[in-house]
Structure 1
Amino acid sequence: MDVQVKHIAIGANRVPAVASCCPDQKGIVAFAADRYVALWKPESERKGVRTVLKGHADPVSAVCFVTSDVIASGSTDGVVKLWRRDSPAREFEFKCPGFFPLCVALDEIRPESSTDNSQSPVYVLAIGATSTRIQVFISAKSDAPVFRKIATLKGHEDWVHSLAFKHFKEHDGDDVLYLVSGSQDRYIRLWKILPRRKYEHGKEDNFLMMADPLFASTMYKFSLATGDGADSKDKDGEYAVVFDALLMGHDDWVISLQWHPAPNVMRLLSASADSSLMIWSPDEASGIWVSEARLGDVSIKGASTATGSSGGFWTALWEQSEDPSWISTVGKSGSWRVWKAETEEGVAITGHVREVTGIAWSPTGDYLLTASLDQTTRLLAEWKTGAEDDFDWHEFARPQIHGYDMITVSCLSSTVFVSAGDEKVLRVFEMPKSVAQLLQRQCQIDVRSTKAEEVVLPDAAAVPSLGLSNKAVNMGVSGNAEDGDDNAEEETVEATTADASFESIVSLRTPPLEPHLQRHTLFPEIEKLYGHGYEISAAAISHSRKILATTCRANNTTHAVIRLFDTSTWHEIQPHLEEAHALTVTDLQFSADDRYLLSVGRDRMLVVWEVVDRDGGVTYEKRFSAPRGHSRIIWDCAWAPAGLLASGEEDYVFATASRDKTVKVWKASAEGKMWTAVATEKFGDAVTAVDIFPRLVSEKENAAEKKGLLAIGLDNGRVYVYEVCAMEEQISPVQRISRLAWRPRKRCGEGKFEVAVASDDSSVRIYAIEIDCIY
């Protein structure tokens, strides 16, 4: 048996020090992703996250390559880890010097040999914090450095988010250390650290005479030997920190800065909350710093990180080579963006940035839908335009960008799904034609072939200016203003939007980029389902695709009801299922033939409902209940597929997962009126997710005896597959498994299985499992 990780989808953390590029020109980026350090190679379009380094107990807040083989990372619990290739991580405690640091920069001052031959290089440390001032320290180079403050740099008017050092050779050949700082005040400041004898007092006086405080500056003097301020007439051996330039151009917080990696090349890359990257360089004639390129999005006043919008860039990276081939950044949505040759945007990786709460395969397993507390649903599919070994998973649509945290998602057909956020309403969405054509061309998925009749899809979707729901829009539909129709102008705008959205997607030759995903891959909302009194907790669709079962959060029997909806009309089937659970129903599942509906809940109860005909329609009635099926909350349940055991009533088998650290397998009696727990498996942590897939019968086994593959997820992130094995801890998530879903067998080869795993660590993983077996 072989288990491999086929895909890891996870977004980057929203912190300025989120990422670092390997300095050995291999193009590998390490970035903070929830509690992991994730490794990715931007120039490899087809491959996503290569691996994740596990070890931190809290979200990672800073990542940096120390050398090509050593990565340093820090987390919000104050722990710093050093990761060395093929070696265990080393752990350190990090202590803040009396304030909350937001950024640091470390380099060395190289004394002039002509001035003091005995003076060795010293460390220089700059710290930006929740303050308008920058603290500068120096220390002798040693294994246990002791830093002394030499300056407090004034000038910024808000918190400082980014600092970066770089050495440059001046025209006279002298080495000068530059420090660049970026702040929430929207400005970038350049500082020089240089021998005091080279500083011209005339320039200092000019700065001090300026009335505008933005340009005000002071020379900070210090001695390398003592770190104390120096004021002797003999300037040899003394150094100064001086203000050099002010860069203005961003419309919002400056969050990340990086120098060009080539030696002595004076170019600077900045990332801002205004959703733009800017490349700066000094004019050769005047020496004034100007912006030579601007990448990203057009700034929108009042729609930025400072005002809580979803826009903004949180880091800026140059490939570490003398001639960088790409620039990358990550936005507030956690998705990466890459520009090649500083102009053309290329394929990057995406992922959720909060707990993943729901996953659902399409009926044929062609694609995977995911839902998260980051208020989005996403569609993942395999990009299949190259050689077979180049296939890789990418996000091909972001059907729903919602105002509520998403809780659950279920596929009704290859083009329709139902989702629910942290609200009382369920919403039904239909795939637009633009996304359907994109999937057909790049993933070889034909959604029309899954239905006998022709599928009529809307062209695209958009959110009306005064609306909250995704609305279907069609191309070429425009109103006639001369007719006096009040909707004419609105229809014209919608038609224009549809044209732009449709063309931007169908013309793609790669998976959608982040701007496409945010604006042009929405699914139109076709129905809203009401009835529940509190936020939706679970939903399930019958295998016939005719019935949707839903439930909501509850603390009494009045609200702990199950509502059934007819998917052909979206009318509720009366009466709803009640007088069973007393608290929230956490999961619902239909048996393979839809004869039974299983519900489990926080009240430790499991209930089996059986289908009945009533007044010419179909509904369900309570057939069996186990008030104390487990000793703690039951989190999840799963029916075994039909034909797993011998034919007859005993064929109905299901599994339940509970906080009491057990999984129980239940089998029906001959009469079908009672289920008994026939197997119990104990684990070391709470069991939070379970799913069953029919294991194919091997040639050595009795063909009359079928077995099931039972996937089990725990609260600590471990994943087990029975009757096979436990997955290695290194490839398992680090937090609670929220959902497990086996990929339908039609999409897997002989002896190959795939299971999708959703976790509270913000990741979605797809595992490939290979077993020696036949159909």
Structure 2
Amino acid sequence: MEGIVSMECPVMHQVSFKLRIRQRKIYPVLSALIVNNVSWGASGFVAFGAQNAVAIFCAKSAKILTTLPGHKASVNCTHWLPSNKFAFRSRNLQRHFLLSGAADGVIILWELSLADKKWRYISQVPQPHKKGVTCINGIMMSQTDAIFASTSSDGTIFVWEVVFPAVSGGQCTFSCLETLFVGSKAMVTISLAELPGNTSHLVLATGGLDNKIHLYCGERTGKFIHACELKGHTDWIRSLDFSLPISINGETDSLLLVSSSQDKGIRIWKMALRDSHNKIEEVGLASYIKGPVFVAGSSAFQISLESLLIGHEDWVYSVEWEPPSSVDGISCHQPQSILSASMDKTMMIWQPEKTTGIWMNVVTVGELSHCALGFYGGHWSPHADSILAHGYGGSFHLWKNIGVDFDNWQPQKVPSGHFAAVTDISWARSGDYLLSVSHDQTSRIFAPWLNEPGSQNGNTWHEIARPQVHGHDINCVTIIQGKGNHRFVSGADEKVARVFEAPLSFLKTLNIATSQTSNFPEDLQVDVQILGANMSALGLSQKPIYVQASYEAPVRKSNEVVDTLETIPDAVPVVLTEPPIEEQLAWHTLWPESYKLYGHGNELFSLCCDHEGKLVASSCKAQSASVAEIWLWQVGSWKTVGRLQSHSLTVTQMEFSYDDKFLLAVSRDRQFSIFSVTQTANEILVRLIGTDDISYQLLTRKEAHKRIVWTCSWNPFGHEFATGSRDKTVKIWAIEKGSSIKQLMTLPPFDSSVTALSWTGLHRQSNKGFLAVGMENGFIELWSLSIQRNEDSNVTVPTAALAMRFDPIMCHVSAVSRLAWRNTEKSEDCRSIQLASCGADHSVRVFEVNLV
């Protein structure tokens, strides 16, 4: 996505230039514990809910293309019109539509134009549910209209007809055909189909907490009545899916319904026209378990249990018929093939044997062992050559059938990312990769993989490592600057900061990803003896795996349980030559923990490192001055070298000036503090206690804003800095004469609380740069700042102008947690810079700003 903005701003100073902003990569994933959140449409794109947005990704390129803002609550379910089931009818369709339902009961209709890959918000369905939408299912009646049904935890089912606009950009109309009340036991799954024959009737199947499948029959104009109940499952119904009508002996008079349940079973039900049922029985299986009969207009349908599929060892969350294949573009053939996904960490493909007709499991994929807690859904690609699963933790798992004469399903790359609020990000000192941490209790490393096979641009971004998988929500992180191996410090909802050091497997993988060579950079120590790390039973400390360690598989008794919390298998760290898949990331890319930093009295909240890589500052949540003190740690020895007291409430962010002479801290107490920090190399002290001589002094403390001060950032070319607050203002300050603080300007009020700032320099001589501003509503703005100093009069003259407002479709949909410019060597004629952001919407985004 690109946007070009050319604007003149009268604020303080007028400037005029053009910027081109391109969103290089987005890393959101679907929320955990949401079952009907993913939909693979006939367009070939996959839609899923990522907090308050709908994310779209392309399975072929393994890229997230965009996120669609518009919902005010978490998106629970999505459904394409046409879905993959009707891909055979959509070859010439230029516009596809997407329905998304949220936790507040709202359903939104979106339009995708395939010609220009543009998205458009069409409309909100007029009558929202009173509680969260749990499932949406619909069918295209023609290229201009569709019928869909939605279920909700409020105990209602809505059936709608939607007429699409004749041309892109037009208006659509909704008609509520029926409102069904199902009582206190809510329905969690739904499926809609046309009945076979010339009945012009629809059948609606719902299932939920009462262990029964309820069938409703209605006309195209509505008037749905409860036809019958199908009993057999002994636990919650989790998924339902109708096939397209089945043709037997040249007559299309049967319909199949597949259901899955928490009783670990899958059932296939046949609905056949009663008049032709005897003929069908002679050709099919020898016996049927006959069920009820329901009437649709002048036709009667006999329901029978076709088959009971037993094979999964845990709840079966999803079943789906293989998409039909087209014969002549109009008629189709419904394959007798079903995909199921279960909490036993497997997906299975079921098909009937040709001779006996007995349904058998013919393909099993998954078996992720300790790497996942199970699958919440499985989906066919429109052409049935790939299958996609989503699981606990928002992870995607994709397999593609690459076999020619026989099936050969192989795992493929998929997008990955956090599944909870992303709290902090930090660029590596060289800008090679981006590290992020989240309340999903993981830290993740994203990097561009150069010259990836199959990449058109030769430079695509991927998650290349998951160095920390923790037992607490992670709140903050900082990468240690300076030369040497890569290290970072993270702080979580515990009183301990943890230090991690890159193992040899990561150093080699990063070298391959970023340089495609086998030679190490000069600033790296190649004598690393740690290959990777193992996770402990409680998910806290990560133990090193040494290069020379000999591994012998433990001898276990035949009846001993292997996969338990106490017996977690060893990781197998390897050097990756291509971007890893989820199974590798989740277990085999951990970093060993080298130190624990004790001292704080509450949960860690903020971390920062100086630019020479010698000091780390940390703060924690606090309600008193004694707890709100900032701790300084010596890198290497990791000893406490200072406890800085100034604030009375939580210090929300800290940052060292670029010459490391000052430490800036902002706090919930509406104040900022500046400490002067002096480091003196003392050989005697180093020899005795292992630290340099560190001296610090509180230079000033000043009440800067009327509300909480969330963020701050230094000017890379001087001692000016910016502070941002909940009072919707950004103020620019300067240190003059080494000790006094002067406010230079206040930017015009913003539309929302300012939660993130990041200042980058463009021209040192003119002291010009960009200030990126992130807000609580998810929006991001770029401001052009110039600080001119008059040496004769000793007067500082600041100028500022709004350079760009990011397109809302490129922004976050919740509060921006942190902004960070990429650390690269910028020349004076540099025409491109990159900005990373993270937010409460579970996403990490990387933007490229081209100066044109």
**TM-score after normalising by structure 2:** 0.78
Instruction: Report the equivalent of 1:88.
Output: 121
8 A contact 1:378–1:398 mirrored in 2: yes
Q: Structure 1 regions of 5+ residues with no counterpart?
A: 114-119, 210-214, 226-235, 301-308, 482-495, 643-650, 698-703
Counterpart of 2:310, as a letter, is M
Aligned residue in 1 for 2:460: 392
Q: Provide Cα deviations, 1:199-245, integer angstroms capped at 9, x if missing partner.
A: 46999xxx9x9xxxxx9x662222112xxxxxxxxxx8312332221
C-alpha separation in 2, matches of 1:606 and 1:339? 52
Query: Could you say which residue in structure 2 is the equivalent of 1:692?
Result: 759
TM-aligned CA deviation for residue 690 of structure 1: 0.3
| 1:423 and 2:494 correspond | yes
- Paired residue secondary structure (2:223): coil
2: CA distance, partners of 1:465 / 1:57: 38
Residues 293, 744 of structure 1: CA spacing in aligned structure 2 closer, same or farther, 3 A cutoff? same
Q: Which moved more, 1:237-246 or 1:273-282?
A: 237-246
In the other structure, the counterpart of 2:176 is none
2:811 aligned with 1:732 = yes
**1:538 and 1:550 in contact (8 A); partners too:** yes
In the alignment, residue 84 of structure 1 is paired with which amino acid?
E
Offset of residue 190 of structure 1: 1.0
Distance 1:620 1:733 in 2: 38
Per the alignment, residue 720 of structure 1 pairs with: 781
1:169 aligned to 2:247? yes
**What is the distance in 2 between the residues matched to 1:479 and 1:686?**
54
Q: Distance in 1 between matches of 2:416 and 2:847?
A: 18
Q: Which residue of 2 aligns with 1:229?
A: none
* TM-aligned CA deviation for residue 191 of structure 1: 1.0
Who is 2:388 aligned against?
Answer: 328
Residues 43 and 326, structure 1, Cα contact 8 Å, conserved in 2: no
Distance 1:623 1:448, change over 3 A: farther
Are the counterparts in 1 of residues 450 and 516 from structure 2 also a CA contact under 8 Å?
A: no
Is 1:707 matched up with 2:768? yes
Partner Cα distance (1:298, 1:583) in 2: 45
Distance 2:372 2:105 in 1: 28
Distance 1:361 1:264, change over 3 A: same
The correspondence of residues 477-556 of structure 1 with structure 2, limited to 5 A, is 477-478=549-550, 501-502=572-573, 505-506=574-575, 508-556=576-624
Which residue in 2 is equivalent to 1:489? none
Q: Residue type of the partner of 1:49?
A: I
Q: Using the alignment, how far apart are the partners of 1:455 and 1:656 within structure 2?
A: 43
Looking at structure 2, the residues matched to 769 and 613 of structure 1 have their Cα atoms a distance apart, in angstroms, of 36
1:123 CA displacement: 1.2
**Aligned 1:138-149 pairs, distance under 5 A:** 138-142=217-221, 145-149=222-226
CA pair 497-436 structure 1, distance change in 2 beyond 3 A: farther
Output the CA distance in 2 between the equivalents of 1:174 and 1:726. Answer: 57
Whole-angstrom distance in 2 between the partners of 1:291 and 1:394: 34
Contact (CA 8 Å) 1:274, 1:299: kept in 2 or not? no
Aligned residue number for residue 183 of structure 1:
261
| Aligned partner (choices 50, 70, 73) of residue 65 of structure 2 | 50
Distance 1:354 1:313 in 2: 18
Match of 1:247 in 2: 309
CA contact (8 A) 2:24 2:846 kept: yes
Q: Are 1:195 and 2:279 an aligned pair?
A: no
Note if contact 2:529-2:547 (Cα within 8 Å) is conserved in structure 1. Answer: no
Partner of 2:661: 595
Q: CA deviation at 1:198?
A: 4.2
In structure 1, what is the Cα distance between the partners aligned to 2:706 and 2:613?
Answer: 34
- Tell me if 1:132 matches 2:211: yes
The answer to whether 1:745 aligns with 2:800 is no
Which position in structure 2 is the counterpart of 1:764?
Answer: 844
Amino acid at match of 1:4: R
**Aligned match of 1:563 in 627, 631, 634?**
631
SS of structure 2 residue aligned to 1:631: coil
Q: How does 1:675-690 map to 2 (within 5 A)?
A: 675-690=742-757
Distance 1:36 1:564 in 2: 39
> Per-residue deviation at 1:682?
1.1
Alpha carbons of structure 1 residues 249 and 298: separation in structure 2 relative to 1, 3 Å: farther
> What letter is aligned with 1:327?
I
TM-score of the aligned structures, taking structure 1 as reference length: 0.85
Q: Would the aligned equivalents of 2:729 and 2:746 in 1 still touch at CA under 8 Å?
A: no
SS state of the match for residue 246, structure 1?
Answer: strand
TM superposition shift of 1:64: 1.1
Contact 1:366/1:747 (CA < 8 Å) preserved in 2?
no
Shift of 1:765: 0.4
Q: Provide Cα deviations, 1:711-762, integer angstroms capped at 9, x if missing partner.
A: 0000000000111211112211111000000001328992101000101000
1:29 is aligned with what amino acid?
A: V
Cα deviation, residue 476, structure 1? 4.0
AA matched with 1:549: A
Cα distance in 1 between the residues matched to 2:648 and 2:353: 73
Separation in 1, partners of 2:640, 2:217 = 71
**What residue identity is the alignment partner of 1:399?**
P
Residue of structure 2 equivalent to 1:470: 542
Answer with 271-280 or 663-672: which moved more: 663-672
d(CA) in 2 for partners of 1:422, 1:465: 19
What does the per-residue CA deviation read over 1:484-516, in whole Å, with 9 as the maximum and x for residues that have no partner? xxxxxxxxxxxx987x723xx32x442111010
**Counterpart contact for 1:666–1:679, Cα < 8 Å:** no
8 A contact 1:540–1:589 mirrored in 2: yes
Question: Given the alignment of the two structures, is residue 157 of structure 1 paired with residue 234 of structure 2, yes or no?
Answer: yes
Aligned equivalents of 1:135 and 1:220: distance in 2? 12
Number of residue pairs matched? 694
Partner in structure 1 of residue 689 of structure 2: none
Q: Deviations over 1:90-131 (max 9, x none)?
A: 2113442334231111111023x5xxxxxx421111112222
1:453 & 1:109 partners in 2: Cα distance?
69
User: What is the deviation of 1:657?
Assistant: 0.8
SS class of match (1:519): helix
User: Does structure 1 retain, via aligned residues, the 8 Å contact 2:728–2:749?
Assistant: yes
| Cα distance per residue 1:330-361 (max 9 Å; x no partner) | 12121211111051111111011110001000
Displacement, 1:412? 0.6
Range that drifts further, 513-522 or 407-416: 407-416
1:32 corresponds to which residue? 49
Which residue pairs with 2:705 in the alignment? 630
In structure 2, the residue matched to 1:233 is: none
1:458-488 residue CA offsets vs partner (Å, 9 max, x unmatched) = 111112457741111124423899xxxxxxx
1:201–1:133 Cα change, 3 Å: farther
Q: Distance in 2 between matches of 1:514 and 1:272?
A: 17
- Deviations, residues 37-74 of structure 1 (Å, cap 9, x unaligned): 222221224xx101122211111111111126111111
Q: 1:149-185 CA distances to partner (integer Å, 9 max, x unpaired)? A: 1112211111111110002222463431111111111
Match of 2:194 among 94, 102, 108: 108
Alignment-mate amino acid for residue 470 of structure 1: Q
Residue from 303, 312, 331 that aligns with 2:374: 312
Q: Distance in 1 between matches of 2:431 and 2:280?
A: 73
Q: Partner amino acid for 1:458?
A: I
CA 1:328 to 1:513, structure 2 compared with 1: closer, same or farther past 3 Å?
A: same
How many angstroms apart in 2 are the aligned matches of 1:671 and 1:353? Answer: 45
**Mean Cα deviation higher: 29-38 or 667-676:** 667-676
Inter-CA distance 480–221: structure 2 relative to 1 (3 Å threshold): closer
Q: Distance in 2 between matches of 1:390 and 1:593?
A: 36
Query: Is 1:16 aligned to 2:40, yes or no?
Result: no
User: Deviation at 1:663?
Assistant: 0.6
Task: Give me the CA root mean square deviation.
Answer: 2.6
Counterpart AA for 1:261: P
Is 1:74 aligned with 2:151? no
Identity of aligned residues (%): 33
